[in-house]
A and B are shown apart, each in its own frame.
Chain A
Amino acid sequence: GAVVSQHPSWVICKSGTSVKIECRSLDFQATTMFWYRQFPKQSLMLMATSNEGSKATYEQGVEKDKFLINHASLTLSTLTVTSAHPEDSSFYICSAKLAGGGEQYFGPGTRLTVT
């Protein structure tokens, strides 16, 4: 149980284009989902917290107009990287928290390469 999927697992896009990443909780409902980015050999950096049906809360230094987050249902959150640039290339990981529970379960991550 507590499986989180992400799609796509790997995407290459050209500079200036937008990319959408999906995060799904497959066998549970997640009132809260989180988006992280991770650079090579570094730990996870929280970008934003997403609650179903409300606006996401972004961490300091994260541009909300660049990283659009939508949490339209209890099982799906999306992250759209708008006007992507090479410096946005990173590993993006989502996690989902069980409703009423404390644990976060992570997705397998999406590797974004912007050329």
Chain B
Amino acid sequence: QKEVEQDPGPLSVPEGAIVSLNCTYSNSAFQYFMWYRQYSRKGPELLMYTYSSGNKEDGRFTAQVDKSSKYISLFIRDSQPSDSATYLCAMRRSNAGNMLTFGGGTRLMVKP
């Protein structure tokens, strides 16, 4: 079993929809949680960075962390075709140096 599980998709939604992307993990030591967006043939772009449980909002993006359930989410409001990309969750243990553990990525397609 992978440490971080993420549905690969693809997830197809109409423009303007609310998108929910999720990851589950097995290691309770993870404390730092990130969401990256990766366009085809490009490097990942950091979208959200959160520490421990709670919510964080940035524009149309909201990240949620529920450590009790070992579950993190990224919500995208008013989705746009330009949001079409692969979304990667990543997490890090506080005492494990700098190594990130990635989910497999979810491919999102927003149709106009």
Contact = CB atoms under 8 A, between A and B. Distances in A.
B103 A43 contact: yes
A102 B41 CA distance: 25
A109 B98 contact: no
A44 B32 CA distance: 18
Contacts of A107: 43
A104 B100 contact: yes
Interface in B34-76: 34, 36, 41-46, 49
Contacts of B45: 106
Closest 5 CB pairs of A and B: A106-B43, A108-B43, A109-B43, A106-B44, A43-B104
A5 B22 CA distance: 29
Given A91-B41, A106-B43, A109-B43, A49 B102 contact: no
Interface in A39-62: 42-44, 46, 49
Interface residues of B, number: 20
A75 interface: no
Interface string B88-112: 1000100001111011110000000
B41 A109 contact: yes
20 contacts: A43-B102, A43-B104, A44-B102, A46-B99, A49-B97, A49-B99, A91-B41, A95-B43, A97-B98, A102-B32, A102-B49, A102-B92, A103-B46, A104-B98, A106-B36, A106-B43, A106-B44, A106-B45, A106-B46, A109-B42
A103 B45 CA distance: 11
A43 B98 contact: no
A28 interface: no
Nearest to B42: A108
Given A34-B98, A43-B102, A46-B99, A105 B41 contact: no
Contacts of B32: 102
A103 B98 contact: no
Nearest to A44: B102
B106 to A, nearest CB: 10
